[in-house]
Amino acid sequence: MESLFVKIGIHLSRLAEDLILYSTKEFGFVSIAESHSTGSSLMPQKRNPDSLELIRGIGGSIMGQCCGFLAVLKGTPSTYNKDLQCDKEAVFSSFDKLMRIVELCEGTVRTLTLNPDRCEVALSSDMLATDVAYYLVRKGVPFRDAHGLAGKVVAAAEQKSVDIDHLELKDLKLISPHFDADVKKIWDYDNSVEQYQAIGGTSKKSVLEQIHELKAWLGEHKISVTK
């Protein structure tokens, strides 16, 4: 049970760390609601993501209590011992802390604002380098070779001081004759996301299926979920 608390705490802590980073001025992908943040005591323009920092901190505290729990067990033989009286404090305390950060996380995510325009500005065509490799694989090139050719595409773009989607077809054909005019189709971020339709994929269809499955699981366990 304690290890389960740790796993959940780690997942929520990592999510909090991502959101803290994405809420900074440098990224601006999300904005944390005032109800889950506070102003800086020194800098009036700064908003501190308090709820996320608490999630991150408490997640570490739960991990520490698990280490204490395991330390109690390490010296006991495989029968009941009074040492095990000491494990209850860690379990009950970890559960209470976990419930706190689950509530904090739910409230923070529910009230935050996504800034898709800032996300779009941050897109870079070199993110599509793997798609170049997949394009070549679909043309019959073994992935090991396709991976190396995709690296050469990136190197060629760097040498010309251009983005990879600004390379001309003749430049690409010098790298591999498998490149054709249809290579233009891979320079599309939406298509890149939508092509992954397997379980756990990034396409809208796959994501909605995952959400549906999770809601069904929550329903089976009589756990309410906010739409």
Which CATH number goes with the domain that contains 113?
A: 1.20.200.10
| Domain shared by 100 and 167, yes or no | no
How high is the pLDDT of residue 45? 67
Average pLDDT on 27-45 reads 84
How high is the pLDDT of residue 226? 59
Mean pLDDT of the chain: 91
| Domain shared by 9 and 113, yes or no | yes
Q: Is there a contact between 152 and 175 (Cβ–Cβ < 8 Å)?
A: yes
How high is the pLDDT of residue 227? 54
How high is the pLDDT of residue 50? 92
Domain carrying residue 19? 2-121
| Domain shared by 71 and 111, yes or no | yes
Evaluate if residue 43 carries a pLDDT over 80.
Answer: no
Rounded distance between C-alpha atoms, residue 157 and residue 87, angstroms: 59
Instruction: Please give the C-alpha separations between residue 40 and each of 31, 35, 43, 47, in angstroms, as whole numbers.
Output: 16, 14, 5, 6
Q: Which of 211, 40, 192, 43 shows the shortest CA–CA distance to 131?
A: 192
Last residue of a domain, one of 93, 121, 149: 121
| Domain shared by 163 and 182, yes or no | yes
| Domain shared by 164 and 220, yes or no | no
Q: Which two tokens stand for residue 105?
A: 């996380």
How high is the pLDDT of residue 225? 59
How many independent structural domains does the chain possess?
A: 3
Last residue of a domain, one of 121, 137, 166: 121
Q: Which of 23-32, 35-44, 92-101, 213-222 has the lowest mean pLDDT?
A: 35-44
| Domain shared by 155 and 203, yes or no | no
Average pLDDT on 182-210 reads 93
Average pLDDT on 4-20 reads 96
How high is the pLDDT of residue 38? 83
How high is the pLDDT of residue 69? 86
| Domain shared by 179 and 85, yes or no | no
pLDDT band with cut points at 50, 70 and 90 for residue 168:
very high
